Structure 1
Amino acid sequence: MSPLFVGSGRAVVAAVLAAAALGLTRQRLPRGRQWFRLAVVAGGVVVGFPVLTSFALTSVPASQGAVVIALLPAATAVLAVLRGGERPPRAFWVVAVAGAAVTVLFTATRGGGLDGPNWADLLLLGAVVAGGIGYAEGGLLARELGAWQTISWALVVAAPLMVAFTGLSIARQPLTGDAAGWAAFAYLSLVSMFLGFFAWYRGLAIGPMSSVSQVQLVQPVLSVAWAAVLLGEVLGWRTALAGAAVIACAGLAVRVRSRPGPEPTGPAVVAERGVPEPASRSRRRG
Structure 2
Amino acid sequence: METTWRWVLLTAIAPIAWGSTYYVSREFLPADAPLWGAVLCALPAALLLPVVRPIRPRGAWWWRASILGALNVGVFFALVYLVAQLLPTSVASTVMATSPVAMMLLARLLAGERLRAIPMIGAAIGLAGVVLLLAGDAGAVDPLGVVASVIAMLLSSLGYVLAKRWRDGTDVLAVTWWQLLAGGAMLVPAALLVEGAPRALDGAGVAAFAYVSIVATAIAFVAWFGGLAHLPAGTVGLIGLLNPVTGVLLGVLLAGEVLGGWQVAGLALVLAGILLGQVRLVPTRVRRAATGTEVPNTPRARMLTSAAGAAAAAPRPDDRGTHGPTLVAPREVHA
TM-score bin (small chain): 0.7 to 0.9
Change (3 A) 1:117 1:238: farther
Q: CA deviation at 1:132?
A: 0.8
Structure 1, unaligned runs of 5 or more: 260-286
1:13 is aligned to 2:19: no
1:249 is aligned to 2:273: yes
Partner of 1:130: 155
Are 2:133 and 2:262, in contact at CA under 8 Å, matched by a contact in 1? Answer: yes
Q: Give the counterpart of 1:62 among 53, 65, 89.
A: 89
Distance 1:187 1:130 in 2: 24
Partner of 1:284: none
1:41 is aligned to 2:68: yes
Name the SS of the counterpart of 2:240 in structure 1: helix
Distance 1:239 1:120 in 2: 24
Q: CA deviation at 1:42?
A: 1.0
Q: CA deviation at 1:233?
A: 5.8
Partner of 1:76: 103
Partner of 2:235: 211
Partner of 2:127: 100
Q: CA deviation at 1:212?
A: 3.0
Higher CA-based Rg: 2
Name the SS of the counterpart of 1:256 in structure 2: helix
Q: Percent identity, aligned pairs only?
A: 28
Name the SS of the counterpart of 2:183 in structure 1: helix
Distance 2:110 2:144 in 1: 29
Name the SS of the counterpart of 2:199 in structure 1: coil
TM-score by length of 1: 0.74
Distance 2:250 2:58 in 1: 38
Change (3 A) 1:117 1:165: closer
Change (3 A) 1:71 1:243: farther
Distance 2:129 2:119 in 1: 16
Letter in 1 for 2:96: I
Are 1:63 and 1:227, in contact at CA under 8 Å, matched by a contact in 2? Answer: no
TM-score by length of 2: 0.64
Change (3 A) 1:188 1:165: farther
Matches within 5 A, 1:143-222: 143-168=168-193, 171=196, 175-222=199-246
Question: 1:238-285 CA deviation, whole Å, 9 max, x = no partner?
Answer: 5554443222211111213599xxxxxxxxxxxxxxxxxxxxxxxxxx
Letter in 2 for 1:17: L
Distance 1:223 1:108 in 2: 14
Distance 1:8 1:80 in 2: 29
Name the SS of the counterpart of 2:85 in structure 1: coil
Change (3 A) 1:166 1:191: farther
Q: Give the counterpart of 1:3 among 14, 34, 57.
A: 34
Letter in 2 for 1:218: L
Letter in 1 for 2:78: V
Structure 1 vs Structure 2 CA RMSD: 3.2
Are 1:18 and 1:156, in contact at CA under 8 Å, matched by a contact in 2? Answer: no
Name the SS of the counterpart of 1:57 in structure 2: helix
Count of aligned residue pairs for this structure pair? 252
